[in-house]
Amino acid sequence: MKNNLQYSKWQLIWLVVLRVAIGWHFLYEGMVKLVNPNWSSVGYLLDSSGFFKEMYYSMASNPELLRLADFLNIWGLIAIGLGLILGLFTRIASWSGIVLLGFYYLSHPSFIGVSYSMPMEGSYLIVNKVMIEMVAVIVLLLFPTGRQIGLDRFIFKQKNN
Amino acid sequence: MAETNKTDIPNSNDNSGISRRDIIKGLATVPVVGAFFYGWYKKRKLENLLRDSIREEITLDNDNPVFHRKVSTKKQIRLGIIGTGGRGRALLKACGFLRPEIIDAYVEAAKENETDKRYAEFLEQEDLNIVINGVCDVFDVHAEFGMKACANTDRLPSDQQMSPFPKRYKNYKELIAADDIDAVIIATPDHWHGTMTIAAARAGKHVYCEKPMTWAVDETYEVVKAVKENNVVFQLGHQNRQTESYFKAKEAIEKNVL
């Protein structure tokens, strides 16, 4: 994949803005869960529906797996958020973000005839905001900016040269 | 795009280390992290302020209610129980008395499932310093169950040392008249509650009666009258009222929050 695409000034600015905004969202979601001692993914997992709900249920019913899911959720969100904002290991952060968002979408897909006890904040048919955020991170992965605006500029400088 | 040549690419630079431009571009988004945590701090502060001010405004303290658990160690209270069906035996359990067979089942269940803590929790139940001297039930099976539970004073499984069985009564009037009973638990079918409470109060026995107290309003006044005239302690089995949420609700009402 081309890592050093040449962008116009405005293309670069808005790609970076998109990256930072998504990173901000990830970071805040992670921090909120981190400071809430009562937070657990169990409610969300048990509210799952769609094709993969059995998998999410089994995650919720296994205490060790649940602890792991909680830990990866909190620190994954924080790490991905910081990675996207700072442009630090942007590629890994993007990939991880896509996987995490994919998990979220498959847990609560906005399919026809599927309803949830946890209310969603909008009206959706198949496409919801989780999916749009995931698609946006895929775009960020394919149009990388971390090595231009971001700490990856330092990290990957030598290698590139 | 007309402007594609305007942005620079790291490896298009000459490789003479890190330039000033590199530093600016590399660190360009770092202030966002600062902005994030500034926003984070402001939001948390506001949330804390709101929470504290609401609490202050409604003057509810954040403490847990205090339960005054004073179990007398001096005088043992001697009880009789009228009605040892399902509810009666549940009350006996709350008093600390379970049939050995039930304990056997708890022990077995705990062996198979380590999260089954029923026996451990039962053993931790406080000792109320009571003894049950009389059991009254017209149904032999229930009476037998009740007596076995009452005799299991050490909370043991089967085939262990039991205390003597309490006396079994077939008529509640005889139990109420007994000299070795200070107070009665009434867990009979509902239509008996008022009648038995009045009779017990008149015999000078204190009463714990299952809900409902009576089936008719008139009878309710009779019960109150009998309790007051004979100066006995009466408690209706509204045990939910001793849960924390009710104490909080009471506090809210008393402080005029609602």
Per-residue pLDDT of A33-48, as tens digits, reads: 999 988 988 888 888 8
* Domain shared by B134 and B237, yes or no: yes
Q: What is the CATH number of the domain that holds B110?
A: 3.40.50.720
Locus of tokens 């698609």: A135
B44 contact residues in A (CB cutoff 8 A): 35
Q: Are residues B215 and B90 in the same domain?
A: yes
Output the pLDDT for position B1.
40
Contacts of A147 in chain B (CB under 8 A): 10
Whether B40 and B143 share a structural domain: no
For residue B185, what are the domain limits?
77-246
Enter the tokens of residue A17: 């803005």
Q: Tell me whether residues B25 and A86 touch, CB distance under 8 A.
A: no
| Residue B82 resides in a domain | yes
Domain shared by B208 and B120, yes or no:
yes
Q: Do B146 and B219 lie in a common domain?
A: yes
Closest chain B residue to the Cα of A12, Cα to Cα: B7
B140 and B81 share one domain: yes
Contact B7 A24 (CB under 8 A): no
Question: Are B25 and B97 contained in the same domain?
Answer: no
Write out A91-146 in H/E/C secondary structure. Answer: HHHHHHHHHHHHHHHHHCCECCCCCCCCCCCCCCEEECHHHHHHHHHHHHHHCCCC
Whether residue B207 is contained in a domain is answered as yes
Query: Quick check: A11 and B1 CB within 8 A?
Result: yes
Nearest Cα residue in chain B from A31: B40
Q: Would residue B15 count as lying in a domain?
A: no
Residues B96 and B32 in one domain: no
In a domain, B13, yes or no: no
3-state class (DSSP) for residue A88 = coil
Say whether both B39 and B97 belong to one domain. no
B85 lies in the same domain as B195? yes
* CA nearest to A156, candidates B127, B63, A146, B55: A146
In angstroms, what separates the C-alpha of A37 from chain B's closest C-alpha?
Answer: 15
Judge whether B172 and B203 are in contact, CB under 8 Å: no
From residue A160, alpha-carbon distances to A68, A87, A147 in Å are 36, 16, 10
Which residue from B3, B32, B36 is facing A9, i.e. has the nearest CB?
B3
Q: Do B26 and B104 reside in the same domain of the chain?
A: no
Encode chain B (258 residues) as per-residue pLDDT tens digits.
444 444 445 454 455 578 898 999 999 999 999 999 999 999 999 988 888 887 777 767 666 666 666 666 778 999 999 999 999 999 999 999 999 999 999 999 999 888 899 999 999 988 889 999 999 999 999 999 999 999 999 999 998 889 999 999 999 999 999 999 999 999 999 999 999 999 999 999 999 999 999 999 999 999 999 999 999 999 999 988 888 888 888 888 888 877
Pairwise pLDDT comparison (A113 vs B32), residue with the higher score: B32
Which residues of chain A does B36 touch, with a Cβ-Cβ cutoff of 8 Å?
A: 24, 27-28, 85
pLDDT of residue B5: 45
Kindly tell me the sign of the dihedral angle through the C-alpha atoms of B140, B145, B150, B151: positive
Domain-embedded: residue B67: no
Domain boundaries, chain A: 24-160
The pLDDT value given to residue A161? 45
d(CA B237, CA B217): 18
Average pLDDT, chain A: 90
Helix (H, G, I), strand (E, B) or coil at A62: coil
Say if CB A90 and CB A146 are below 8 A apart.
Answer: yes
Instruction: Specify whether the CB–CB gap between B152 and B106 falls below 8 A.
Output: no
Does the distance separating the beta carbons of B4 and A86 come in below 8 Å? no
On whether residue B163 sits in a domain, the answer given is: yes
In a domain, B104, yes or no: yes
Pick among B25, B42, B45, B115 to test the A interface (most A CBs inside 10 A): B25
Q: How many domains does chain B contain in total?
A: 2
Tell me, yes or no, whether B24 and B89 share the same domain: no
Sorted by sequence, the CB contacts under 8 Å of residue B37 that are 6+ apart come out as: none
CB contact under 8 A, A160 and B11: yes
